[in-house]
Amino acid sequence: MNNANLYEMNFMGIFYENYVPSDPTARKDYNEWLRGAMYVNDYDSNPALKVSLRALAVTRIGRLTKNNSLVVQGQVAYGNALKLLQYSLWDSQAMYSDSTLAAGRVLSCFEMFESNPSSANGWLGHQGGTARLVYLRGPEKYRETMKTGILDDFRYGLMISSLMTRQRSYLADPEWKTVPWRDTPKSFDDKLYDIGFSLGAAFEGFDDTLRFIDVEEAQTSLDKFTGLERDIRDWFEELAADDPTQALYWTTGSALSGPTYPAYTPNATDSKAQLPPLQFQTLLKAHQTILYWALRIIISALISTCLTFLHNHSAPLPSSIPGSASPSPPSPRHHHTSDTAALQKTLTNQRTHRLHLCALITRSVPYCLSDLWGSVGPSRCIFPLGVAIRELWRKSEVEDCEKELLQCAMELFGSISGGKGFGFAAAIGESADLYDVAPVLPVRYVDN
C-alpha cells in the first residue's frame, strides 16, 4: 500500500470516528450508509467515489482542527469529485454502479456541512441529482441489504426535499414503497418516511388550490391531510408499544439546576411552565420522535388552513377533525356567527397544540447535541427544529412565552450551524420561508 493510500485511509478513519456516534448501540443504528460507501470504495476503482470521500474527510477535519489549508484541499477535491461524478453519469455502465450511487450520497453529506449559509439551493440541488441516481436503478436494485441501507439514508433527505419544495417524489409511488422491502421488514423509519412522502405528494398543487379558490380540491386536500393525521398517530402508537416497559422520553434534571425551556403544555394548570430538556431511550428513538412531532405540526397547519378556506367560501366542514384536542367545528352548509366562533376556537386549540409540539422539539435538541452522538446527532435535528421555528413565526404578534421559545429554538439552531459546523442549518435558517407550509388565513365572519 503506497503512502497516498495510507494518507487517505488515515483521514477517512478520523472523519468516521467524528461522524458516527461513539456509543456502540447508536453507532450500529447510523453507520450503514458510510460503511457501505467505504466498502464499495475498497473494491471499486471508480475515482468519483474516492475523490468524494477525500473531499468530505479532508474538509471536515480541516474545519474541526481549524486548518484552512486542509479546508481548501477538501474544497478543491469537491470540485473535482463533481466533475468525476458527471463523467460517471455519462458512462452507460458506471451510472448504474454502486460506487456512483455512493459518491452521490457522500457529496450530499458534504453539502450538509458546507452549504452556502445564505441558501439551501446547493443541498436541494444535490437531492435532485441523487433522486435521479436512485430512480435510474429502479426499486429492484435495492433489495440487497447494503443497497437498501443506502436507500434508507437517501430517503430521509429526499423526503425533506419533497416537503421543502412542495413537490411529489417518485418515492411516494407504490412500487418504491414496497419492492425494496419484499425480503426485509420495514423499520419504523421506513414507515414514517412513507408518510412523509405521502404528505409531500398531497402538498403538491395545494398553493394553487388556495390561489384559484378551488373549493372542491380543498375538500379533497382536507381528506388527504386528515387521513395522514390518522396514519401518523397510528405510527406513533406502534412506536410507543415497541417497548412498553419504558417511556419514549422523559424529563431529566431539575428546573432549578440547569437550562430550561418553555413547556407550552395545553390543558395544564400552568401551560407556560419552564421545564428541563428531554431524555430518550436511544438516539434513534429521539430522531424518530422529533420527526414525528415536526410532521404533526405540518399536517395540523395544513388542516387548519383547509378548514379556514372552506369556511370562508361557505363550504361544508367535516363533523370531526382527527387529532384535534378541541370540540369539532359544525358542518352546516350555511355558516353563521356562532359557527365562526366555534371554528375559531378549534383553530386556536390546534395552534396551541402545535406550540406544545414546538416546545417538545426544542427541549429534545440538547439531547441530540451531545458529543456522544458525533455529527449524526445534530444532523437529524435540522429539519424538525426548522419546522418548529417557522411555526413560531406564523403570527406577527406573539405572546412573550412564544417569543422566549422562539429565542431558545434559534439559539439551538445556531449551535448546530456554528458549534457543530452544519452549513445546511444556517442555510435553512436563512430560507425559513421554505417551511411556511400553510398560510395563516384570516377567518371571515359569514352570515347568510
Query: DSSP secondary structure string, 176-242?
Result: HHHGGGSSS---HHHHHHHHHHHHHHHHTTHHHHHHTT-HHHHHHHHHHHHHHHHHHHHHHHHHHHT
CB atoms within 10 A of CB 99: 21
Name the residue among 121, 111, 118 with its Cα closest to residue 430: 118
**pLDDT tens for the 448 residues of the chain, in order:** 444 554 566 888 888 888 888 888 888 888 667 777 787 776 667 899 899 999 999 999 988 888 999 999 999 999 999 999 988 888 888 888 888 888 888 888 888 888 766 667 777 887 888 888 889 888 988 877 555 567 778 899 899 989 988 889 999 999 999 999 988 889 999 999 999 999 999 988 888 888 888 999 999 999 999 999 999 999 999 999 998 888 899 987 654 455 777 766 655 545 556 778 899 999 999 999 999 999 999 999 999 999 999 988 888 777 666 545 443 444 434 444 557 888 888 888 898 899 999 999 999 999 999 989 988 899 899 999 999 988 888 764 556 667 888 888 888 988 888 777 777 666 665 554 544 555 566 666 544 4
Q: Give residue 366's pLDDT.
A: 93
Distances in Å between the alpha carbon of 206 and those of 101, 220, 337, 386, 433? 32, 10, 28, 21, 16
> What distance in Å separates the CA atoms of residue 216 and residue 310, rounded to the nearest whole number?
9
Q: Give residue 292's pLDDT.
A: 98
Q: Give residue 321's pLDDT.
A: 60
- 3 state SS of 374: coil
The DSSP letter of residue 402 is H
Instruction: Using the CB atoms, write b or e for 225-238: b if 16+ within 10 Å.
Output: bbebbebbeebbee
Phi first, then psi: what are they for 71, rounded to 5°?
-60, -45
Query: Any residues with CB less than 8 A from the CB of 302 and at least 6 apart, and which?
Result: 203, 206, 221, 225, 437, 438
Strands 278-280 and 249-251: antiparallel
Q: Give residue 341's pLDDT.
A: 82
Phi first, then psi: what are they for 279, rounded to 5°?
-115, 150
Q: Give residue 27's pLDDT.
A: 85
Q: Give residue 210's pLDDT.
A: 86
- 3 state SS of 320: coil
Phi first, then psi: what are they for 278, rounded to 5°?
-100, 155
> What distance in Å separates the CA atoms of residue 235 and residue 112, rounded to the nearest whole number?
28
Distances in Å between the alpha carbon of 137 and those of 85, 92, 141, 147? 16, 12, 6, 11
- 3 state SS of 23: coil
- Which H or E element spans position 421? none
- Which H or E element spans position 122? helix 121-137
- The upper half-sphere exposure of residue 383, i.e. CA atoms within 13 Å in the direction of its Cβ, equals 27
Query: Any residues with CB less than 8 A from the CB of 259 and at least 6 apart, and which?
Result: 276, 277, 366
Instruction: Using the CB atoms, write b or e for 361-384: b if 16+ within 10 Å.
Output: bbbbbbbbbeeebbbbbbbbbbbb
> What distance in Å separates the CA atoms of residue 167 and residue 118, rounded to the nearest whole number?
22
All three cell numbers of 154: 437517501
